[in-house]
Amino acid sequence: MKKLFRLFFFSAILSAGLPAMADNFTNGVDHYRNSQYQRAFSEFQQGAQKDDPRCQYALGLMYAIGRHIQRNDHDAYSWIRKAADQDLAAAQNYLGFLYAEGIGTEQSYEKAAQMYKKAADQRYADAKYNLATLYLSGKGVKQNTKEAIRLLRLVASGGLPEAQYALGIMYASGNGVKQSDENAVHWYYEAAKQGFPMAQNKLGVLLIQGRGAEKDEIKAANWFRYAAKQGYAPAQYNLGRLYETGTGVTMSKATAAGYYRMAANQGNEEAKHRLALMQPDQKGKAHPASGKKGSAKSQERSSVFR
């Protein structure tokens, strides 16, 4: 399970909070919104030099992301640590990420856990999620699945889609909880309706299989489509399967090939395989394993969704 970090600049810096009156931070945010990135950078620099932790964090994020200025991991770590030392929860959470990944500093899961705990104690949802991933893996802390699940449920109930998806995975597999397809569907749906593509794809898979909910191929196709539009390769592959077999959608080999191609371009091996089967051989005939309803292998693969 991957750790969560929101790299969308505004969601990160706005979580630091906004004051009632304009200052370097709010000026910087306004400039950034207006695509005036150098002016934003200048405002954040000025505020950071005045020890404003929000500006230090924003400046560190700009260095870390490197989207509008040259990326500098050392400066990112330095400024984000200054903000974290002033108890800014968002900065503590991100500093945990830098320690966990060894970006701009020596890698240390122990220090990452310490930072996540500090932010979590301030009720910072992302930090609770990140701390839960460490408890699940036992990295930097003693493995504690019970505590991980407690934290995941807490932030999932608060609406964090990554935590909702994680609980869906755990219920689907029975990892740390009693296996329940119904609970898996519930948590996948909560994340899916927030636009979380991995949950949309998993929800589609369960609906195709009729696990945890009534089988509904049309709804499954819709969820795959939502995730595919966000560029999620497994959903593109799954949607291709539906179009190839006419499951929940009108059969279209051309549309299936289009979705397979999208997924294959991202390295999806199953999609590459299906594309190869759909290619005509040198005599202009379809591959013998393609399109034969009586083919055991074809039927076996047609039932597989990722």
Give dist(CA 190, CA 157) in Å, integer: 9
pLDDT of residue 283: 46
**Of 144-153, 161-170, 294-303, minimum mean pLDDT range:** 294-303
Average pLDDT, stretch 126-147?
96
DSSP for 95-146 reads HHHHHHHTSSS---HHHHHHHHHHHHHTT-HHHHHHHHHHHHHTSSS---HH
Q: Look at residue 16 and tell me whether its pLDDT is greater than 80.
A: no
Output the CA torsion sign for 21, 26, 27, 33. Answer: negative
88 within some domain: yes
289 within some domain: no
The answer to whether 59 and 40 are in contact (CB under 8 A) is no
The CA-atom distances, in angstroms, between 96 and each of 16, 77, 237, 286 are: 16, 10, 35, 53
Give dist(CA 208, CA 303) in Å, integer: 9
Average pLDDT, stretch 176-181?
97
125 within some domain: yes
Output the CA torsion sign for 29, 31, 37, 40. Answer: negative
The answer to whether 61 and 76 are in contact (CB under 8 A) is yes
Average pLDDT, stretch 112-125?
97
225 within some domain: no
Q: Look at residue 303 and tell me whether its pLDDT is greater than 80.
A: no
The answer to whether 255 and 220 are in contact (CB under 8 A) is no
227 within some domain: no
Structural domain for 127, as ranges: 1-132
In whole numbers, what is the pLDDT of the chain averaged over residues?
A: 88
The answer to whether 268 and 286 are in contact (CB under 8 A) is no
67 confidence band (pLDDT: 50, 70, 90): confident
The count of structural domains within the chain is 1
Which CATH number characterizes residue 35's domain?
1.25.40.10
169 within some domain: no
Spatial neighbors of 285 by CB under 8 A, at least 6 apart, are none
pLDDT of residue 279: 81
Token pair in block for residue 138: 């036992």
219 within some domain: no
27 within some domain: yes
Q: Look at residue 287 and tell me whether its pLDDT is greater than 60.
A: no
CB-neighbour burial class of residue 163 (10 A; exposed 0-12, middle 13-18, buried 19+): buried
